Structure 1
């Protein structure tokens, strides 16, 4: 179980880091063109950058506290925050008729819920 939780947290951290770096450092106009318009076309630059920073922080919060042994309770807290972020992402993609992303966000939500459940319940640090 512990290994499965580490794999799930690592996968989520990789996804969060990739998404965060993209949203933080790629210009909004380029993101909007790459997504065929999508939600980034209507969002402000500040909002997109803020989401990027939050995703980078999520990547850090899913791995580093447990690896360093400093406040490992932050891992399930971060996973719960990721669940909330994915709910917001699904609502945003639903409003923009981007159904393929909703399925992906649901998968990430399930992984984060698994990490939160596992680290709060059967396999705490």
Structure 2
């Protein structure tokens, strides 16, 4: 799989047919791409969600920040698997909930750079990230 750009536009995302990626996003946010799960709604502003993701990325040794854009609330990082040191690309964006100030959702896409299957690694990572953002 070729490396993705540093930051992605979720509505333009094209997912590979391999089962080595996972996507959580607000309903309809990812354009025509099917999501694996719809994002929960957080009682946080999009900026608070962005800041939570940024803090989580900076706290973890196995996650390495690639790029961030506070204006568009997008972050990308590389997640390195502990045992075999595989590198996976992860992208996140905080999304405001229309008509509900102070509430937001998140889009997160994690994809393995190599291999056909990831044995659930990307799904686990995305679910954990979403849960941690909700808990902060």
With normalisation by structure 1, the TM-score equals 0.30
TM-score normalised by length of structure 2: 0.28
Higher helix share: 1
Q: Point out the structure with max Rg over C-alpha.
A: 1
Q: Which is richer in strand?
A: 2
